Structure formats: C-alpha cells, structure tokens
A and B are shown apart, each in its own frame.
Chain A
Amino acid sequence: MTAGGARVELPTYDPQSYGAVCATVDGCLVCGDVAVPVTVIEPGEADALCEDEHGARGAVGVELVVPVTEGDRLLVHGGVAISRLAPDRAGDSPERSDRPHDRPKGSDRPHDRAERRESA
C-alpha cells in the first residue's frame, strides 16, 4: 500500500488475536456493523477461546454475555461477544412467510429516549 508516495508496511495478523476471528468477513468490522458468529471452545469468565465457521480460533471477551459454556454460540464484534445466537432461533430460515416478529404482546410502551440516553 502506498501513501503519499511512500510504501507502508502493514502489520501481519497475530493468529492469537481477535483479528483472526474477525478477518474472515469482508469489509470493515466497525463500518459494516459486522459481527461474527463463533462457538465457545474453552469457556472463561473474562475471555473464552472461540472458533469461527472457518475453524479460526481466538480469544474473545465474554463479559457481556457471561456465563458461557462450551458449545455456546456467540456473536463477536471487535473482539468482544455482544450477543448470543438464540438457541431456538439459530436455525431459523428466512422464509418469506409472516414469521411473527419479536415484539412482545402488550409491550406497547412509548419510546423512551431519555432512558436510552441514560443507558448510553
């Protein structure tokens, strides 16, 4: 890659890094709002060794989804698991049917921007 006429050497992947897990998806992980599905191989309280669909393994921060156990399916963004793949929905196929959406019945609460801002 060149920049300003100079050749720039970019760093190589650290196979133990989070990048090894995330690099299988094209595009920028942040801009693309990319999250990678992985499977927990060795559980931990802060980090867990996880494996992606291609067999790449790396440490993933799991504090936002603890507790995790071996075999759990997680969604990783920026080296941190932000969600679980719902076990009962992980195999959902995107049929064009009127699949019921997730809105709980009777939860027609008005939006609450103030509360969300507090959360942020």
Chain B
Amino acid sequence: MRFVDEFRDAELARTLGTEIAALAEPGRHYKVMEVCGGHTHTIYKHGIEDHLPESVELVHGPGCPVCVIPMGRVDDGIHIAKQPDVIFTCFGDMMRVPGGDGSLIDAKAEGADVRFVYSPLDALKIARNNPDKEVVFFAIGFETTAPSTALTLMRAKAEGVTNFSVMSNHVTIVPPLMALLESPDLRLDAFIGPGHVSTVIGCRPYEFIPSDYGQPVVVAGFEPLDHLQSIYMIMRQLDQGRSEVENQYGRVVPWEGNLRALEILEEVFELRPYFEWRGLGFISQSALALTDAYSDFDAELRFNIPGVRVADPKACQCGEVLKGVIKPWECKVFGTACTPETPIGTCMVSSEGACAAYYNFGRFARSKARAGA
C-alpha cells in the first residue's frame, strides 16, 4: 500500500536502529519525548523500542486529547446530554471517558441521546435533520482538529442553523510543552514533534525549544520508519552539538503550516485565560473558547453547566504518566483495576493513551523482560 508499506521496511528499520546506536555516546542516557498520542501508538504497535539501544528512552507525552480532559469537563458534557430534547455528539473515544459520575456512554445507556460522529460536520448534518432538537458537539483535540470545528461553525453561521452549538475543549500544543520543560522532575534531551498538528501550525512555534532550552525538535510522521528516522535525526543533532527544529515529515508538513486554517482558527476561537489539563493542572492560554462573533453557538453559554472541578481517583496516576514521570506499567492499578474495558484513568481509554497502547501491545514484552531480569 502506497505511503504505508514503504515506511514499514524491516531492513531499513534495522539499519536505522544500528545508526542510532552508533550515534549514542557511551555512558550517556537519552530521554526523548514523543508529544503525540499517535506516536505512542506507533511505538508500541510496531515495537519501535526493540530497535533502539537501551540508552535511548522514549518518554510519552500529553498529546492525546482524550487523556488530558479533566473529569469535570466530562461531567459538564453529561449534564448537557441529559437535558430534554438534546442530541449530544462527540468523537468515539470520548464516549468512554469516565467523569465523576459515569461516562457519556453510561448516560446513553440511561436514555440520553448521545451519538458519536467522525466529524463535526456530521454533527451539523444531524442538526439540519433534526430542527426540533438541540444538537451539541463536544469538541476535543489539538490544532489538527480545531480547524474542522471552526469550519463547521462557520458553515452553521452562514446557513443560519440555530439548533447547533459546540462545547469547546480544544487545546493547544505549545503551552503544555512549556509546562513540561519547566517541570523540575522531568529532564528531557529532545522532542519528537507532532505530525498532523504541525500540518496546521507549521514548525515555527517549536523554535523556542531549541532557542530557549537547547533541545532538538524533529517533527515526525506516524509510520515506524518515520519514527526511527526522526530519532536518528535527533541523535545526529545531539552528536553534532546542534539543537534546532527539523521536519522529518516534509511530505505532509509545510514549514509555515496551513495559513487558511490558522485564519479561520483566529476568526472562530480565542485563547482561554487558563484551562485545566488532567495531570498537568491549570495551564494559562492553553485552550480555545469561541469568540464573541460565535457566542451564539457556545454550548457553555446556551446551557447552564455546573462547572464543578472533580478530583481524579486517588489510585490513578495518569498525571505522572502524562508528564512522563512514570511508565504506564509503574502505575499501581495498571492492568489490574484499570484496563481498556474498565478504565479508571483516561490514559487507558483512548487507544493512543500511553496506558492503553502499552496494555494492548507491550505488556507481554515487559513481562518477559521482568521474568528475564
């Protein structure tokens, strides 16, 4: 298959692994964070770590939008979903994220009209087809997804659709990176930058990482060889004493991003003063709310939501996992009380969450390693 098979060549993967090992300085330990949940998924699904020397450690970052949703926002969504004459729409994985009192799929089982969609445009279509209902879209995602929400709102406004609104939980990628870089308990050597987020925002927003923190960033694609090549490029920078932003995913990511997408984001969204991230706490200017021009479509204004902050379950260590402080299997409830079927924490919900990815693809390897040790 074009764009897939050629990026899964085992021989090239082995060669890249050898070259990465050759660039590793003896006695030095390298910690490289992949920001994006899709990269985490690739690492475990394709066994990327098996091609790396032991001195190169991959740390999983907060780039899964489902995983960083705080429980209180889920409860707010459920509150809206349970209102009469409401059709509540969201992306599939969001349905299973536990709030303080159940998930959206629990609410659906109890009678609420909750539907999953693949696109906010599908939610708008539901609104057009159900003029006697209030259709709400629970928007999540980074800058990759926010343009599709913005485009949908622009169409809704142009068409004069009045029974459609959005509860925006869109977040931005740079503020959490800054929070991680300022975190005293996390020492990283480099970042693997998100691929499709960068399709929208381009590569320039990451330039503060090498300039202010001296760490390389390589924007990477999602196939196994994309990932290994990006690690090779990082190791080459470190070997040569360089730190800059490089773009491994040039076949898709323009350096300046998608200017049209950035324009519509500016028209529809504005930065919230602060937003709560699961595990990372409140981060200023890290999330998007609707601008005044689109306030008629703001579900948070249209419905009276509780807005109560809910503490994460004590046993759950998603926060430490999201910050890369602990590995998924080091969480007390990983694979026992918390599994993909009965998730306690959000990292176990999405297939791109570090815990679910590891549970699905990596736990046996880890068990083997432990047995060997």
Contact = CB atoms under 8 A, between A and B. Distances in A.
B106 A4 contact: yes
Given A17-B122, A33-B195, A94 B250 contact: no
B350 A3 contact: no
A37 B3 contact: yes
B10 interface: no
Contact of B266 (A10, A80, A107, A119): A119
Contacts, number: 240
A106 interface: no
A34 B36 CA distance: 10
B70 interface: no
A46 B103 CA distance: 35
Nearest to A78: B148
Interface stretch (B182-190, B205-213, B274-282, B303-311): B205-213
B229 interface: yes
**Chain A at the B interface: mostly helix, strand, loop or mixed?**
loop
Interface magnitude class on chain A: 35 or more
Interface string A78-105: 1110110110011011111010011110
A31 B226 CA distance: 18
A75 B196 contact: yes
Contacts of A120: 143, 146, 172, 262, 265-266, 269, 271, 288
12 contacts: A27-B350, A28-B93, A29-B118, A31-B37, A33-B63, A33-B196, A79-B120, A79-B122, A80-B151, A86-B251, A93-B6, A94-B7
Interface of A: 1, 3-4, 6, 8, 10-11, 14, 17-19, 22-23, 26-35, 37, 46, 53, 61, 63-65, 75, 77-80, 82-83, 85-86, 89-90, 92-96, 98, 101-104, 107, 109-113, 116-120
